[in-house]
Protein backbone atom coordinates (compact mmCIF):
# COMPACT_ATOMS: atom_id res chain seq x y z
CA UNK A 1 0.00 0.00 0.00
CA UNK A 2 1.39 3.43 -0.95
CA UNK A 3 2.12 6.16 1.60
CA UNK A 4 -0.67 8.28 0.08
CA UNK A 5 -3.20 5.46 0.51
CA UNK A 6 -1.99 4.90 4.07
CA UNK A 7 -2.47 8.57 4.78
CA UNK A 8 -5.97 8.60 3.20
CA UNK A 9 -6.94 5.62 5.33
CA UNK A 10 -5.68 7.29 8.49
CA UNK A 11 -7.50 10.55 7.78
CA UNK A 12 -10.72 8.66 7.06
CA UNK A 13 -10.34 6.71 10.29
CA UNK A 14 -10.01 9.89 12.31
CA UNK A 15 -13.07 11.42 10.61
CA UNK A 16 -15.23 8.34 11.05
CA UNK A 17 -14.37 7.96 14.75
CA UNK A 18 -15.50 11.53 15.30
CA UNK A 19 -18.65 11.14 13.17
CA UNK A 20 -19.78 7.79 14.53
CA UNK A 21 -18.66 7.86 18.15
CA UNK A 22 -18.28 11.59 18.75
CA UNK A 23 -15.30 10.76 20.97
CA UNK A 24 -12.36 8.36 21.01
CA UNK A 25 -12.49 4.66 20.18
CA UNK A 26 -11.49 2.23 22.90
CA UNK A 27 -10.46 -1.26 21.86
CA UNK A 28 -9.92 -4.37 23.96
CA UNK A 29 -7.64 -6.95 22.40
CA UNK A 30 -8.60 -10.53 23.24
CA UNK A 31 -6.12 -13.33 22.51
CA UNK A 32 -8.20 -16.48 22.29
CA UNK A 33 -5.28 -18.78 21.50
CA UNK A 34 -3.29 -17.25 18.66
CA UNK A 35 0.33 -17.98 17.72
CA UNK A 36 0.98 -14.30 18.59
CA UNK A 37 1.84 -13.09 15.09
CA UNK A 38 -1.60 -11.48 14.72
CA UNK A 39 -1.04 -9.84 18.09
CA UNK A 40 2.33 -8.45 17.00
CA UNK A 41 0.69 -6.86 13.95
CA UNK A 42 -1.95 -5.35 16.21
CA UNK A 43 0.76 -4.05 18.54
CA UNK A 44 2.34 -2.35 15.52
CA UNK A 45 -0.67 -0.03 15.37
CA UNK A 46 0.62 1.64 18.53
CA UNK A 47 4.23 1.97 17.42
CA UNK A 48 5.76 5.27 16.23
CA UNK A 49 5.07 4.40 12.55
CA UNK A 50 1.30 3.89 12.79
CA UNK A 51 0.82 5.81 16.04
CA UNK A 52 -2.90 5.04 16.13
CA UNK A 53 -3.38 7.05 19.32
CA UNK A 54 -3.17 10.26 17.32
CA UNK A 55 -6.54 9.37 15.74
CA UNK A 56 -8.24 8.90 19.07
CA UNK A 57 -7.81 5.13 19.27
CA UNK A 58 -6.65 3.48 22.45
CA UNK A 59 -6.18 -0.12 23.52
CA UNK A 60 -7.64 -0.58 26.98
CA UNK A 61 -6.97 -3.28 29.57
CA UNK A 62 -10.57 -3.61 30.71
CA UNK A 63 -13.46 -4.78 28.51
CA UNK A 64 -15.69 -2.49 30.57
CA UNK A 65 -14.02 0.48 28.88
CA UNK A 66 -14.16 -0.97 25.37
CA UNK A 67 -16.34 -0.07 22.37
CA UNK A 68 -14.84 -2.80 20.25
CA UNK A 69 -13.24 -6.23 20.78
CA UNK A 70 -10.46 -7.38 18.46
CA UNK A 71 -10.12 -11.13 18.86
CA UNK A 72 -7.12 -13.12 17.63
CA UNK A 73 -6.90 -16.92 17.57
CA UNK A 74 -9.50 -19.58 16.89
CA UNK A 75 -10.82 -19.76 20.49
CA UNK A 76 -9.18 -22.71 22.19
CA UNK A 77 -11.33 -24.67 24.62
CA UNK A 78 -9.14 -23.45 27.49
CA UNK A 79 -9.78 -19.80 26.62
CA UNK A 80 -13.43 -20.11 25.60
CA UNK A 81 -14.78 -19.10 29.00
CA UNK A 82 -12.42 -16.12 29.19
CA UNK A 83 -13.56 -14.98 25.74
CA UNK A 84 -17.23 -15.24 26.73
CA UNK A 85 -16.62 -13.40 30.01
CA UNK A 86 -14.71 -10.64 28.25
CA UNK A 87 -17.55 -10.19 25.76
CA UNK A 88 -20.18 -10.16 28.50
CA UNK A 89 -18.20 -7.61 30.50
CA UNK A 90 -18.05 -5.12 27.63
CA UNK A 91 -20.76 -2.49 27.68
CA UNK A 92 -23.34 -2.18 24.89
CA UNK A 93 -23.09 -1.22 22.12
CA UNK A 94 -20.12 -3.45 21.42
CA UNK A 95 -18.79 -4.91 18.24
CA UNK A 96 -16.51 -7.90 17.63
CA UNK A 97 -13.83 -8.16 14.96
CA UNK A 98 -12.21 -11.50 14.13
CA UNK A 99 -8.53 -10.78 13.42
CA UNK A 100 -6.59 -13.30 11.34
CA UNK A 101 -7.38 -16.54 9.57
CA UNK A 102 -7.57 -18.50 12.82
CA UNK A 103 -10.12 -16.10 14.29
CA UNK A 104 -12.08 -15.98 11.03
CA UNK A 105 -12.47 -19.73 10.63
CA UNK A 106 -9.98 -21.77 12.60
CA UNK A 107 -7.01 -21.48 10.25
CA UNK A 108 -4.64 -24.41 9.99
CA UNK A 109 -5.87 -26.03 13.19
CA UNK A 110 -9.53 -25.81 12.22
CA UNK A 111 -12.14 -27.20 14.61
CA UNK A 112 -10.66 -29.83 16.90
CA UNK A 113 -11.04 -31.31 20.37
CA UNK A 114 -8.88 -28.39 21.56
CA UNK A 115 -10.29 -25.51 19.59
CA UNK A 116 -13.61 -24.11 18.41
CA UNK A 117 -12.45 -23.21 14.91
CA UNK A 118 -13.25 -19.51 14.87
CA UNK A 119 -14.61 -16.68 16.95
CA UNK A 120 -18.09 -16.80 15.39
CA UNK A 121 -18.66 -20.21 16.99
CA UNK A 122 -18.70 -18.35 20.32
CA UNK A 123 -19.52 -14.69 19.70
CA UNK A 124 -21.39 -12.62 17.11
CA UNK A 125 -18.68 -11.39 14.74
CA UNK A 126 -19.36 -8.18 12.82
CA UNK A 127 -16.17 -7.91 10.77
CA UNK A 128 -13.73 -10.57 9.56
CA UNK A 129 -10.14 -9.54 8.84
CA UNK A 130 -8.39 -12.43 7.06
CA UNK A 131 -4.64 -12.86 6.76
CA UNK A 132 -1.97 -14.89 8.51
CA UNK A 133 -1.31 -12.47 9.98
CA UNK A 134 -3.21 -9.46 8.60
CA UNK A 135 -1.09 -6.35 8.14
CA UNK A 136 -1.76 -3.21 10.22
CA UNK A 137 -3.39 -1.55 7.18
CA UNK A 138 -5.89 -4.41 7.00
CA UNK A 139 -6.66 -3.89 10.69
CA UNK A 140 -7.33 -0.20 10.04
CA UNK A 141 -9.66 -1.11 7.16
CA UNK A 142 -11.47 -3.58 9.40
CA UNK A 143 -11.92 -0.98 12.13
CA UNK A 144 -13.38 1.40 9.54
CA UNK A 145 -15.87 -1.24 8.39
CA UNK A 146 -16.82 -1.88 12.00
CA UNK A 147 -17.53 1.84 12.48
CA UNK A 148 -19.87 1.68 9.46
CA UNK A 149 -21.71 -1.17 11.12
CA UNK A 150 -22.08 0.85 14.30
CA UNK A 151 -23.77 3.50 12.23
CA UNK A 152 -25.93 1.02 10.26
CA UNK A 153 -27.20 -0.43 13.54
CA UNK A 154 -28.19 3.04 14.69
CA UNK A 155 -25.62 2.89 17.47
CA UNK A 156 -23.86 6.08 16.52
CA UNK A 157 -23.46 8.62 19.31
CA UNK A 158 -24.58 11.40 16.98
CA UNK A 159 -27.84 13.01 18.05
At 51, give phi and psi (nearest 5°).
45, 55
Q: Which residue number, 46 or 156, has a Cβ lying nearer to ligand SF4? A: 46
10 Å CB burial of residue 118 (0-12, 13-18, 19+) is buried
The reply to whether 107 sits near ligand SF4 by the rule CB under 6 A is yes
The reply to whether 37 sits near ligand SF4 by the rule CB under 6 A is yes
The reply to whether 136 sits near ligand SF4 by the rule CB under 6 A is no
33: which residues sit within 8 A by CB, 6+ positions away? 73, 74, 75, 76, 78, 79, 102, 115
The reply to whether 32 sits near ligand SF4 by the rule CB under 6 A is no
Answer for which of 28, 29, 50, 72 binds ligand SF4 (CB under 6 A) is: 72
We find the least distance from the C-beta atom of residue 26 to ligand SF4, in angstroms, to be 23
Sheet of strand 127-129, all strands in order from the earlier edge strand to the far edge: 57-59, 25-31, 68-72, 95-99, 127-129
The reply to whether 102 sits near ligand SF4 by the rule CB under 6 A is yes
Task: Provide the binding-site residues for ligand SF4, judged by CB under 6 A.
Answer: 34-35, 37-38, 72-73, 100-102, 107, 132-133
Amino acid sequence: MSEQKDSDLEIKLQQRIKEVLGKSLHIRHVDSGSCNACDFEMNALSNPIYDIQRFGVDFVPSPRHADMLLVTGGVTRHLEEAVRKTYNAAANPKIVLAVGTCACGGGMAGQTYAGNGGVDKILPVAVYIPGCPPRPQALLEGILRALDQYEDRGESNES
